[in-house]
Structure 1
Amino acid sequence: MTTTREFTITREFAAPRELVFRAWTDPQHLTRWYGPRGCTTPLESISADVRPGGTWRATMVVEATGQEFPTGGFYVEVRAPERLVFTWREPGGDAESVVTVELADLGDGRTGMTFHQAGFTSEDTSHGVRAGWSSAFARLTEHLTDPEEENRS
């Protein structure tokens, strides 16, 4: 018998909820933060058909080795700008997990994010994925501080 593992991560961003939601759904934003430090996610590898039943994909590339990690899934629920539910699977993997992102307007242009991922069949996988998301959310925080930075150069 396998045990399903899950985890929750909370963050607060100095950015309006609408911008944080776009950071989760717009490839122009995703390319700037999706993936842990040491990885890039090329814009051409990202697609997002943001509607219930729509698919998404993104390929993280390890900067040091060029090794690719494609991910993808489909959207289960989309309620802009407050809630996003989607499946998450590495192609070729035998397990699919479900991600729920809830965004709360905290006032003064701040947003609270509750990220929950469930459906792992091992605790090791859950811990590794959690560490990856934690690193990615540090990159998301930096991106939301200056989301137009790359467009000015």
Structure 2
Amino acid sequence: MTGTPFTPAVTAEYTITYVLDAPRDLVFAAWTDPARFAHWFGPHGYTTPMRGISMDLRPGGVWRALVVDRDGAEQLLDGVYREVDAPARLVFTTGDPGNTTGDLASVVTLTLTDVGGKTEMRFHQAGYNTDEAHARGSRAGWLEFFDRLAEHLARDPATG
């Protein structure tokens, strides 16, 4: 018997639209080049060391990022790329670090649109096996990530 893989129902989702003062290809690179990604990925006060980043940028490829808090505690975030369409779209799964069952946590769809040399970044996260309170916390965390991304791009957009 053949069929499509089981995907659980979405239990919480949200969209964030953020305009970045950088060209679309540079924003895409910030998401997909480990050297750039290390500068901004994580909330304020956290670091993402290069040693903890791996990106197999192709559908089915795995991404990983080790995020370190102020006290040195490490948290691994990871997932699988589902779509890679440079520089316009990136779709990937991302897990919940507190999930010990291995169940799919969420799917992120990142759409980048050129708006006169700036980039409109539309970030949509559909959560599975979660609730609205967790989704609100996740959304707040991503907003901090995106503030750091904007700060990073403003510092040195030519080199990332």
TM-score scaled by structure 1? 0.90
Question: Are residues 1:116 and 2:145 paired?
Answer: no
**1:135 aligned residue (132, 144, 151):** 144
Partner of 1:49: 56
Out of 52-61 and 140-149, give the one that drifted further.
Answer: 140-149
Identity %: 53
CA RMSD of aligned residues (A): 2.0
Tell me: CA distance 1:95–1:54, structure 2 relative to 1, closer, same or farther (3 Å). Answer: closer
Give the residue type in structure 2 aligned to 1:115. F
Partner secondary structure for residue 32 of structure 1: coil
Partner of 2:135: 126
Q: Figure out how many residues of one structure are paired with residues of the other and give that number.
A: 148
Question: Are residues 1:83 and 2:89 paired?
Answer: yes
Higher percent of residues as helix: 1
Cα displacement (A) at 1:148: 6.3
**2:108 aligned residue (96, 99, 121):** 99
Partner secondary structure for residue 39 of structure 1: coil
Q: In the aligned structure 2, how far is the partner of 1:37 from the partner of 1:95?
A: 26
Partner of 1:37: 44
Once the two structures are superposed, residues 61-107 of structure 1 have per-residue CA deviations (whole angstroms, 9 ceiling, x without a partner) of 111x1111110011000000000000001356144200010000112
Moved over 4 A (4+): 148-151
Q: In the aligned structure 1, how far is the partner of 2:10 from the partner of 2:64?
A: 27
Partner secondary structure for residue 68 of structure 2: strand
Contact 2:10–2:126 (CA under 8 A) maintained in structure 1:
no
Tell me: CA distance 1:68–1:149, structure 2 relative to 1, closer, same or farther (3 Å). Answer: farther
Give the residue type in structure 2 aligned to 1:79. D
